[in-house]
């Protein structure tokens, strides 16, 4: 590893606490910002502080569609994406890709490309696929006793979270595709007016602009990391206490009676196939106006469930993979309420509105998408949940687009780009990856910071020049 890279990592190691501590510090910062920027003149600081803590407590257990229900949907996406990544077909794909991982440069190129492509289909699958591929790269070099910049390989895997919201499982876009969702959301926020019933797939995820952005990400990000690897040099020989791999084969020959059903590959395959048939029927029977309006978080989870059971071939193998997967997302599970608490403070105090209104005050129909992009990046650092952020910021940007007669689909995609970009600075979603790779946040964040800079140029540039 080059001396400059070592200094960069050393700085991050000194100043960066753990992800849970970051969540606590962000909570304190949000309280202070709300206390001094949004306190009504007639209210004392002590009284208002009590109100803020009340908003925080309400946010912790938010049972709305953007709260605990959404958190459970996200947990399922992560668990089922992890389970699918542990299946035989994906394991064979990872082994095939490892052939091309011959040094740090080729490894980060392969890992980033694979993780980004998978992430555009499903963010949970992309995150876990990239993490497992990065871990396997580390194990390969550990077995060969060869040094590698393992932190950079981990950052390449995490690059999938830089593109996810523009993919098929993006929270804001899939919610906006649900018929009747936008008018209902605006009504719940107490905002009246005439708004589109929904935003069709072809206007957001399937738009020419977003397809162009996705293609740029697939081409530029792996090449960017490749050239960083060429200059950074090798780091160290990774060390692991045990090998990471798919679950063991079923000992069905030793089972008796009804227990054999749990281990039966016929039963598991049939169940998985049955769920996939339901998925196909649901897609073909969709009668909405949008071409792919049936794609929502529940549809994605149902598809992942069917694929996971089908590929694992038995219920026991599937459950074993679930148990392994849950352990790697425990850090996210316990932090979700903290970020919902932050969201509650921002919503209850009006801090989110203050932030958005300050940007809208200087926006035009042309600059609104770009300013939305930057504001979404700031909000995501405090609330790293695409669905939660959309529930609060979505109505504001919809109303702003209506007032300024701006391009609403482009503005929604700008929010999606800003939300996903600052994942490169906020390690919340890196927790499963860190658990699988056994890396520390300070080992990947120097490189994800460089990805953040690249993303500002890439996404911001497209939003500026795209008509």
Are residues 239 and 256 part of one domain?
no
Q: In the predicted model, is pLDDT for residue 6 greater than 60?
A: no
In the predicted model, what is the mean pLDDT of residues 282-307?
79
Structure confidence at residue 282 (pLDDT) = 85
**Res. 148 pLDDT band, cuts 50 70 90:** very high
Are residues 227 and 143 part of one domain?
yes
Contact of 176 with 196, CB cutoff 8 Å:
no
User: Based on the structure, what is the number of domains in the chain?
Assistant: 2
Per mean pLDDT, which of 64-78, 136-150, 315-329, 360-374 is the most reliable?
A: 136-150
DSSP secondary structure code for residue 325 in this structure: H
391 vs 30 pLDDT, higher one: 30
Q: In the predicted model, is pLDDT for residue 29 greater than 50?
A: yes
CA dihedral in degrees (56, 58, 63, 65; nearest 10)? -50
SS3 382: helix
**How large a percentage of the chain has pLDDT more than 90?**
34
Q: Which of 191, 231, 163 is nearest to 396 (CA)?
A: 191
Tens of pLDDT, residues 8-28: 556 555 655 666 787 788 889
Are residues 189 and 73 part of one domain?
yes
Are residues 81 and 153 part of one domain?
yes
Check residue 350 and give left, alpha or beta (phi > 0: left; psi -120 to 50: alpha): left
Structure confidence at residue 189 (pLDDT) = 62
Are residues 275 and 421 part of one domain?
no
**Res. 383 pLDDT band, cuts 50 70 90:** confident
Contact of 300 with 169, CB cutoff 8 Å:
yes
Return the bridge partners of 148, or none. Answer: 236
Are residues 306 and 206 part of one domain?
no
Q: Is the pTM of this model over 0.85?
A: no
SS3 148: strand
Are residues 269 and 399 part of one domain?
no
Work out the mean pLDDT of the chain and round it to a whole number. Answer: 84
Are residues 445 and 392 part of one domain?
yes
Structure confidence at residue 435 (pLDDT) = 84
Does 257 fall in a domain?
yes
Are residues 169 and 59 part of one domain?
yes
Structure confidence at residue 362 (pLDDT) = 83
* Residue 100 domain boundaries: 3-246+327-465
Are residues 193 and 281 part of one domain?
no
Does 321 fall in a domain?
no
- Between CA 56 and CA 435, with CA 417 as vertex, the angle to 5 degrees is 65
CA dihedral in degrees (164, 169, 171, 174; nearest 10)? 140
DSSP secondary structure code for residue 250 in this structure: P
Residues belonging to the chain: 467
Tens of pLDDT, residues 189-241: 666 778 888 898 889 999 999 999 999 999 999 999 999 999 887 778 888 87
Structure confidence at residue 328 (pLDDT) = 64
Structure confidence at residue 133 (pLDDT) = 94
Does 25 fall in a domain?
yes
**Res. 292 pLDDT band, cuts 50 70 90:** low
Structure confidence at residue 100 (pLDDT) = 95
**Res. 119 pLDDT band, cuts 50 70 90:** very high
Structure confidence at residue 134 (pLDDT) = 95
Structural tokens at position 288: 């909405």
Does 344 fall in a domain?
yes
């Amino acid at each position: 590893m080059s001396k400059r890279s070592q200094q960069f990592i050393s700085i991050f190691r000194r100043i960066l606490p753990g992800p849970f501590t970051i969540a606590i510090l962000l909570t304190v910062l949000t309280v202070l910002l709300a206390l001094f920027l949004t306190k009504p003149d007639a209210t004392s600081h002590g009284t208002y502080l009590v109100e803020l803590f009340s908003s925080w407590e309400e946010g912790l257990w938010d049972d709305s569609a953007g709260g605990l229900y959404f958190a459970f949907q996200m947990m399922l996406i992560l668990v089922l994406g992890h389970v699918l990544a542990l299946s035989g077909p994906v394991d064979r794909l990872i082994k095939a890709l490892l052939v091309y991982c011959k040094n740090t440069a080729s490894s980060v190129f392969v890992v980033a490309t694979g993780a980004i492509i998978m992430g555009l289909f499903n963010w949970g699958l992309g995150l876990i696929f990239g993490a497992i591929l990065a871990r396997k790269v580390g194990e390969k070099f550990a077995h060969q006793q060869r040094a590698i910049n393992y932190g950079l390989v981990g950052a390449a895997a995490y690059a999938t979270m830089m593109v996810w919201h523009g993919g098929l499982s993006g929270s804001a876009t899939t919610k906006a595709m649900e018929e009747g969702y936008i008018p209902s959301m605006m009504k719940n926020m107490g905002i009246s007016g005439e708004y589109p019933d929904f935003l069709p797939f072809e206007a957001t995820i399937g738009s020419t602009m977003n397809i162009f952005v996705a293609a740029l990400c697939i081409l530029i990000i792996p090449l960017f990391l490749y050239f960083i690897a060429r200059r950074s040099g090798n780091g160290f020989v990774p060390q692991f206490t045990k090998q990471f791999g798919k679950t063991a084969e079923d000992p069905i020959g030793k089972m008796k009676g009804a227990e054999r059903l749990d281990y039966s590959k016929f039963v598991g395959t049939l169940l998985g196939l049955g769920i996939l048939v339901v998925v196909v029927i649901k897609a073909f029977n969709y009668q909405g106006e949008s071409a792919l309006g049936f794609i929502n978080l529940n549809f994605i989870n149902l598809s992942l469930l069917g694929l996971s059971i089908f590929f694992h071939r038995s219920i026991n193998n599937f459950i074993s993979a679930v148990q392994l997967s849950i352990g790697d997302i425990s850090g996210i599970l316990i932090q979700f309420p903290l970020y919902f608490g932050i969201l509650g403070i921002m919503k209850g105090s009006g801090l989110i509105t203050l932030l958005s209104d300050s940007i809208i005050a200087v926006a035009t129909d042309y600059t609104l998408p770009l300013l939305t992009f930057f504001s979404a990046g700031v909000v995501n650092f405090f609330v790293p949940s695409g669905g939660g952020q959309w529930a609060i910021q979505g109505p504001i940007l919809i109303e702003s687009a209506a007032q300024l007669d701006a391009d609403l689909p482009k503005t929604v995609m700008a929010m999606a780009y800003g939300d996903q970009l600052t994942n490169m600075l906020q390690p919340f979603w890196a927790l499963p990856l860190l658990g699988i790779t056994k890396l520390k946040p300070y080992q990947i964040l120097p490189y994800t910071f460089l990805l953040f800079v690249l993303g500002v140029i890439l996404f911001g540039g497209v939003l500026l020049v795209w008509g």
